[in-house]
Structure 1
Amino acid sequence: MAAPHHEDDELAPTATEGYKVGQAKTVAELANLDKEDESLQRWKASLGLGTSGGGGQKKVILKTLFLRSTTRKQGDVVLDLTQSPAELAQLKKAPITIKEGVDYSVGITFSVEGEIVSGLRYIQVVKRTGITVDRIEHMLGSYGPQPEPYTKVFAGEESPSGMLARSGSYNVRSRVVDDDGAVWLDVEWGFKLGKEW
């Protein structure tokens, strides 16, 4: 058996000691639990756990990856993740520009279909000339199916600054995985730093 590739190790979610993935239950099974408790049934309905919801295969559909900063007057920088694989491959070849030395946040929008997905995580590895310069991992949580997309914005970061940081571009690999090890997103994109957005 071949040894795992180092880059895949960087994109593997960290394990929390003592955490065990619970038994998977369908939306219908959860909706039918404690049927006699009226207040609990109302609470479940508010979460979208009605008996009509769910069914089918669990599916997470990533819609957008975006960068948000109060210093950007034009709004968010948005990467459309619903594009074809060939169009997504172009994201790495056409880096976006991030203003140097500013606070910004990364966020994603996604939909869940079919069944509940548990333990979604967003992992991002940033490399420059093949050397890892940053790695972030954010727990997104568990989500049930619903027609409206979910939006999650992560804690802010500060972009590097200076002439050395502005020379060259950065390669980013973003991945979304769940507790079952399913990879729902694995996309590469690029950015460069500039004096303006």
Structure 2
Amino acid sequence: MNAGDNGDEDPTPEEYNRADATATPGSPIRIRSLAVTTTDVVDALEARVRRQRRIVLRVTPPFSGRMRARLHDAGVVEDADAGPSAAHDLGSTANHDLGSIGDRDAEQAAGNDAERTADHSEHADATPISLPPERFVDGPPAYPTVDETEDELRVSETTYTRDEHRRRHQEAVEAWRETVRDQLVDSITIATETRSHTVAVSYLS
């Protein structure tokens, strides 16, 4: 799908299990739809691959019908088999500052604090929802590595140079990011204590 195609439309009862507006603000089944920026999803997915960080999209209680999912750095990936960083020889080959994610996380957390309603203290024990960015993508494509880009360049008719290698890899990363944008899903399912709950997703530019 194209980001933003579903706009702000809510799921219908036939499409998704109905949100329960009578549930407590600490229950995720109150949620009908999530809004998330397309860039946050793409950057989070890229950071998990390139820097092996557990970047997630976090939804913070109290919950209501419409919620925002925001970037959150949950720490280093513990899986030793996680893919290697794709930025080793060429340095920062993409034009995206993944190091700024921590700053954006802090800014968004401050915004969350300002937006929380007075009844939040009554639900302080409610658990935020942490959603891996892969959940928002239908079949996340493999992230291009600098080694793959080098192999493709060396078998081509173009003479290998470091600058050409860098340019080709930047193009490969941009193509990957565009593919991710084209494969964003319209809904995701959240596991709750009582049942699975499916919510619509709208993407902000």
Q: Specify if TM > 0.5.
A: no
Greater per-residue helix proportion: 2
TM-score, length-normalised on structure 2? 0.28
- Structure with higher strand content: 1
